[in-house]
Copies of this chain bind each other. A is one copy, B any other.
């Protein structure tokens, strides 16, 4: 009885996961590669686990949350830019016309990102992101965006860390958009976040130095950029990789080529009631080629509807 009430190893490390093939595959893998007597044993220093963020650790519908941030910021800055009223893509935002905004495609979004994410110091930007998270609410759930993180994935991150894996985010999202909140949300320190970035510049600023954010893309951490970013920031091939879209395919392939036994995990959004259901035809988080390759190679695919008892931390029973 004493043993049972203490935090002992027989406790389920993944309580929000339903029993089934997915949960079993994850736990079998971790138990195998951390077992010193197994031929698949992996030394601790090589236990690198990388996680995509959007649609993988938190939701990404009806649009990337970073886009909602950029939209809110355009509205906030608009009084200083009266010309935006008649200039696209800004006009569409000020008129709450998301369809028109989307019609400008990647080029339009890039312009919005540049206008809203640069021109200030890294310190000022961090504060703006934190302030936004305090007030902004998701349109469907009416919750702060950083509460729309996946409870089962939090448990998986903890479980891996308890087994001496080092957990990293490897996301197409902006690195400095993520860093202000991921430590609290996921227990992943800022220096273990890989993401897209804009160029920066050091300014001595008469003895009060700042790093200035410039309106210029530095690195896109997506698709083939993910293995490049992993190599640049981590310097070691992961043994465990987790994503939800075709943008993660190269990261999973790269991990799959590890000489150690590795694990590839795709999250398939199949739950329209509790979250969203989308895959091959989605504009956001398209999962098409990845789904085929996962089946072909025997990678593990989470069926959100079947495998997860709850989605978000606020749904935990008290």
Name A's B-contacting residues (CB within 8 A): 45, 48, 122, 166, 168, 175-176, 179, 183, 189-193, 197, 200-202, 204, 207-209, 211, 218, 224-228, 231-236, 250, 253-254, 257
Contact = CB atoms under 8 A, between A and B. Distances in A.
A189 B166 CA distance: 11
13 contacts: A45-B183, A45-B189, A166-B189, A166-B191, A175-B232, A190-B235, A191-B191, A191-B233, A197-B232, A202-B250, A211-B228, A218-B232, A233-B233
7 smallest beta-carbon distances between A and B, as pairs: A190-B235, A202-B224, A202-B227, A191-B234, A179-B235, A211-B231, A209-B257
A93 B224 CA distance: 37
Copies of the polypeptide in the assembly: 2
B228 A201 contact: yes
A92 to B, nearest CB: 32
Nearest to A204: B253
A256 to B, nearest CB: 8
A191 B236 contact: yes
B227 A175 contact: no
Contacts of A179: 235
A192 B256 CA distance: 24
A228 B209 contact: no
Given A166-B191, A202-B250, A236-B191, A122 B231 contact: yes
A305 B179 CA distance: 42
A159 B38 CA distance: 35
B236 A200 contact: no
Contacts of A232: 175, 197, 200, 218
Given A190-B234, A209-B254, 12 more contacts: A166-B189, A168-B191, A175-B235, A190-B236, A193-B235, A200-B231, A202-B228, A202-B250, A202-B254, A204-B250, A208-B257, A209-B257
